[in-house]
Amino acid sequence: MKSKMIFGFHAVTSRLRHEASSVEEIYVDAGREDRRMQELIRAAKAVNVRIIPVDEQRLNNIVGTRRHQGVVAKAGELSLARNLDELLDAIDGPPLILVLDGITDPHNLGACLRVADGAGAHAVIAPKDRAVGLNATAAKVASGAAESVPYITVTNLARTLRELKERDILLVGTTDDAEKGLYEADFSSGAALVMGSEGEGMRRLTRETCDVLVHIPMFGSVESLNVSVAAGVSLYEARRQRIAAGK
């Protein structure tokens, strides 16, 4: 099983809670003995995960950043659904999926995973090329959502979108110049919300493949929202509609 490094209290604690058997060992800052650290150490020992005290500089070297909060875990890949057919076959009820077309900032990806988890989205789909991968920084920002929301990367996003349409999943693309507003879209049945990259938005082929394009109404002086904020607003509107429809 391929291993990777995850860091930060939320990410490591969530992995221990959801799939402790995948955690091989945890490196902790030997100079940190506060309550939060002691609780994590107890949780790890309860599931027989080895704790290795090291100095802060070694932690910095392991993950290449100082933003690890004094805890880094070596863990195997999760057993979440990693391909589209496996995912869709397992969904009970109308699917709700977030599609990210070319997100390059790991902080934005992590935040998108976090709001996807909060809104009950079944998965996040992204292209393998021209997009950031699910690295340690994205996992930390996701605050545990990377352990619970399948993140599926595909080689051809346009083809994947067509496969979603074949399964009667409505493709709702978001763009500032759309005539229809977000609240006019119907998310009560299966739907995939498609968000473009931070700077350029959706690529042309992605946009043309969507069934409907919507914009998020803006009532202040700013012209647009950060992609993770826009994803949160849109996903929760989809969830609100489904609650109202009893789905």
Fold classification of 3-76 (topology level): 60s Ribosomal Protein L30; Chain: A; (3.30.1330)
Take residue 128 and report the two structure tokens written for it. Answer: 């393998």
CATH superfamily of 84-244: SPOUT methyltransferase, trefoil knot domain (3.40.1280.10)
Domain positions in the chain? 3-76, 84-244
Confirm if 163 and 88 have CB atoms less than 8 A apart: no
Q: What is the CA angle 147-21-86, rounded to 5?
A: 50
* Alpha-carbon span 7 to 203, nearest angstrom: 33
Take residue 164 and report the two structure tokens written for it. Answer: 């979603």
pLDDT tens-place string over residues 180-228: 999 999 998 999 999 998 778 899 999 999 999 999 999 998 888 999 9
pLDDT tens-place string over residues 6-29: 888 888 887 888 778 889 999 999
Which residue carries 């990259």 as its tokens?
Answer: 197
Total-model pTM? 0.72
Closest-CA residue to 171 (of 212, 204, 203, 201): 212
pLDDT tens-place string over residues 138-189: 988 988 888 788 899 999 999 999 999 999 999 999 999 999 999 999 998 9
Q: Which amino acid type is present at position 29?
A: D
Confirm if 140 and 12 have CB atoms less than 8 A apart: no
Confirm if 101 and 197 have CB atoms less than 8 A apart: yes
* Alpha-carbon span 227 to 198, nearest angstrom: 6
